[in-house]
Structures are given as C-alpha cells and as structure tokens.
Amino acid sequence: MHGWIILDKPLGLGSTQAVAAVKRNLRSAGFGKVKVGHGGTLDPLATGVLPIALGEATKLCGRMLDASKTYDFTICFGTETSGLDAEGEIVATSDIRPSLAQVKAVLTQFIGPIEQIPPAFSAIKIDGKRAYDLARAGEAVEMKARAVTVHDIAIHMDETMSALGSVTLSADVSKGTYIRSLARDIAYALGTVGHVAMLRRTRAGPFSLESAISLDKLNAFGQGAAQEDIILPIEAGLVDIPALNLSPEQARAVQQGRVLTGIAMKDGLHWARGADLRPIALVQNVDGILKTVRGFNLT
C-alpha cells in the first residue's frame, strides 16, 4: 500500500485526527497496518487540501512540507484576536473599514519576499516548548520575524465584496508562511486591525481540491466502497519534477545508492524509474553526477 489520500479536511478536524481517520479506514478496508503521514499541518479551524502519504510515499512528506501552498482566506476587519483567528480573545478593535480600492492598493506590498512575525499561537518551538503552549499558559511569547515569500495574492471575487467589513483573498505562498500573520499585516497596512474568519487550503504542492475527497467518502471506503479515486499512486506527488527513465543496469546502480555519470540530463531533482515505469528513487544531478537522494522500495 503506497500512495496518497488527499483529504478535503473538514472544519474542526486536526491533522493528527485526519491521519488517525485514514489509518482506521485502511484497517477497516482490509489493508492491515500501513505507515501513514501527512504532508503539512492544517489547523482545526482551516479546511481544504491535506495530503496524507501511505507507505513509501511517506518518504516524500518532507518534500511536501517544503512545497508552496495556495489558500483562500477571509479577513474580518475591526477586531484583532489573540490567535488571529475566529476563536481567540479580542485584543484590539478599530472602527476603520477599508474600501475595495484601498485593499487592492496595499496587496502589492505583500507580493514577493517579505518578513513576517508568526502568531504567538503557533507550533513554533521556543526553548524546546511550543509557542501555543506558552501562550495558553499566559506567558509572554516573543516571536522572531522570519523571511517568507508570497508568490501571488489577489482579491477572491465573491459575495464578501459588498460590505468591506470583510474581504476574501487568495494567496500562493512559500513554506513557513502564516496566513493569520499575513491577514494581520494587511489590516495594519490599511490602518485597521483584523483576524482570519475563514481559511481554506486549495493547493498543497502538486495536489489541489480536484483530487481531494471528503471525510464521508473516506469513511465509505472503510465500509467497503470502491477504492477508485481514493488512493492516488506515489507518482502523483512527483508530477512537478521531471521523470528519468533508466536502463536495468542504471536502475540497479541507483537502487544500490551508487553514483552515476555520463547521463545527458539537466541539473536538478528528478524521479528515476525503471522498465516497469514505477518510481525507484529521487535523484539529484549536479554537473553530470547523479546521486540518489531517497530510494523507494515498492516491491
């Protein structure tokens, strides 16, 4: 059992709970014990794309964590909360409500490399402890600014545009970007305060909502429904990098971790496959020297 289940995570379900639900349904479907991991935490208050890796695909979880992601999110203007979300305590208020033109004007400030201070209620470790544990205990948490990249951000045209007590945006961001911090800083740039009232991840790396399944469909699979469209092949997590076809001799060398030379190919990361076209390894080519980054055992 190797591949991916892309869950459209519902509101209120944590990432760890989602992994547990996948394990439970795999057992119920008769697959026994399968190694399972997720490719990027999604808060309980967020919904959307949560890639869950099975078997050898768990070796790609780190790569998935590093991938860029796309979110739709609603900023509710006028109140800032302790967690910068809908559940936190109100810590600041403002009567200022921006116009649509003002929102459009400030968004350009947030495209490209930016510095942002993560929320105090986050999983970042400070002296070995999670920031959210310190914050919940009432301790003062000093979060350090970090460099992230916002590849694109735009207004999401929907019904929230009529009264700018709130606005819904879409953002394509690098790893490590906190949407709650982005929303806070956009509100500050508009001379007001705000918090995230809705957060939905629409893409994580190569996976989008188009390939995501509902929790109900996952549960139906555990109760005997067909496997079709539930489990994607391991290759589905590799479509954003080129494939490299190897001869049987080259494939054996890669599987043994030996260095290859003399293969005409571009520098960078590739996924190598043998005669049966199944992935055998992630490989890195630098100046004509091909090294194995991570091998797969799909036998």
Residues catalogued as catalytic: 43
**What is the residue type of 173?**
V
> Contacts from 118-125 at CB under 8 Å and sequence distance 24+?
118/143, 118/146, 118/178, 118/181, 119/83, 119/84, 119/143, 119/178, 119/180, 119/181, 119/184, 120/82, 120/83, 121/82, 121/83, 121/84, 121/85, 121/88, 122/178, 123/41
In whole angstroms, what is the distance from residue 229 CA to residue 63 CA?
Answer: 23
CB-based contacts of 162: which residues, under 8 Å, 6+ apart?
none
In whole angstroms, what is the distance from residue 8 CA to residue 147 CA?
Answer: 29
Q: Is the distance from CB of 56 to CB of 9 less than 8 angstroms?
A: no
- Are β-strands 112-116 and 90-93 bridged in parallel, bridged antiparallel, or unpaired? unpaired
What residue has token string 């079709």?
228
What residue has token string 């929303």?
183
| Helix (H) or strand (E) run with residue 54 in it | strand 46-54
Q: Which residues of 84-110 are buried (b: 16+ CB within 10 A; e: fewer)?
A: bbeebeeeeebeebbeeebbeebbeeb
Phi/psi zone of residue 107: left (φ > 0), alpha (ψ -120 to 50 degrees), beta? alpha
